[in-house]
């Protein structure tokens, strides 16, 4: 259970776009040599990012990519969800087993008025809770945050001299 390499590439590509000047779009070629990934593969990733409104793309001579919105509005969660999809971390695969009856209905039979009762599974409750915590943290960190931190470190390094 790991994030794919594509997520790695996407994050680094966005960081490069962020560091480049605004309104100065950078082509797939430059991104490719900077990240050390083939143009073919990287273009697939950039295409996804464009479809989800993270970057803008302009074809033709001197074309390329640029961030579609300020770097402080692009969170890690945004990027990850574009690449990895939005499926839940945990999805029950045997809700028709005997186990399910026990856990979901807690050994009791609530048959009045035929309500299915939608109590909500306890296992999913834990897993979804965990996922929420993960997502909250990823939502609080943006591309801009990384660039800011890098800048601070740079200054600190200079002051030490």
How would you write the chain as a 3-class SS string?
CCCCHHHHHHHHHHHHHHHCCCCCCECHHHHHHHHCCCHHHHHHHHHHHHHCCCEEEECCCCCEEEECCCHHHCEHHHHHHHHHCCCCCCCCCCCCCHHHHHHHHCCCCCCHHHCCCCCCCHHHHHHHHHHHHHHHHHHCCEHHHHHHHHHHHHHHHHHHC
Q: Is 38 in the site for a copy of itself (CB under 8 A)?
A: no
Which range touches ligand SF4 (CB under 6 A), out of 18-26, 57-65, 93-101, 133-141? 93-101
Q: Is 144 in the site for a copy of itself (CB under 8 A)?
A: no
Q: Is 103 in the site for ligand SF4 (CB under 6 A)?
A: yes
The nearest distance, CB 154 to ligand SF4, in angstroms, is 14
The nearest distance, CB 56 to a copy of itself, in angstroms, is 21
Query: 């680094």: which residue's tokens?
Result: 12
Q: Is 11 in the site for a copy of itself (CB under 8 A)?
A: yes
Binding positions for a copy of itself, rule: CB under 8 A: 1-5, 7-9, 11-12, 15-16, 19, 33-37, 76, 84-85, 87-94, 96-99, 102-103, 106-108, 110, 119, 122-123, 126-127, 129-131, 133-134, 136-138, 141, 145-146, 149-151, 153-154, 157-158
């Amino acid at each position: 259970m790991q994030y794919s390499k594509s997520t790695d590439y996407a994050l680094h590509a966005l960081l490069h776009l962020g560091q480049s000047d605004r309104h100065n779009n950078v082509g797939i070629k430059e991104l490719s040599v900077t990240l050390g990934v083939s143009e073919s593969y990287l273009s697939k990733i950039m295409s996804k990012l464009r479809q989800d409104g993270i970057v803008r793309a302009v074809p033709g001579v001197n074309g390329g990519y640029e961030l579609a919105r300020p770097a402080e509005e692009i969170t890690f969660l945004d990027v990850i969800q574009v690449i990895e999809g939005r499926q839940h971390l945990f999805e029950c695969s045997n809700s028709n087993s005997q186990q399910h009856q026990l856990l979901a209905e807690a050994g009791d039979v609530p048959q009045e008025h035929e309500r299915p009762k939608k109590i909500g599974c306890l296992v999913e409750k834990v897993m979804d809770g965990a996922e929420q915590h993960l997502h909250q943290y990823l939502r609080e960190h943006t591309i801009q945050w990384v660039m800011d931190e890098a800048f601070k470190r740079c200054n600190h390094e200079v002051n030490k001299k």
